[in-house]
Amino acid sequence: MIAICGTVELYLPYAQSLKEKRQITKSINDRIRKRFNLSIAEVDGQELWQRATLGFAAVTNTQRDMDRVIEALRDTLDLHEEEIQVLAFDYSYIG
């Protein structure tokens, strides 16, 4: 068993309110949850319009599966490249 946890720091240059920001982050979170067995939530920057930090965690059986999860997470973030900029993507393996 291999567990992974990490954070993604996002910049949302076009968000003009907390409501707009939450719509974008909710869309990202929902898409990730739907496609993968991954827990994800906004963990920092809740009061900021144009910044968000998402925390994520997952458990898989093999390193190869974990690498696929990370790649898929990056690909999902790339789908939102018109709305967001990824400032940092940090994670670590446990197990």
d(CA 76, CA 43): 19
What pLDDT does 36 receive? 82
Strand partners, 89: 8
What pLDDT does 15 receive? 92
Q: Which domains does the chain have, with CATH numbers?
A: 2-94 (3.30.70.1120)
What pLDDT does 35 receive? 84
What pLDDT does 34 receive? 86
Q: What is the pLDDT along the chain (95 residues), one digit of tens a residue?
A: 899 999 999 999 999 999 999 999 999 999 888 888 789 999 998 899 899 999 999 999 998 988 988 998 999 999 998 999 999 999 998 87
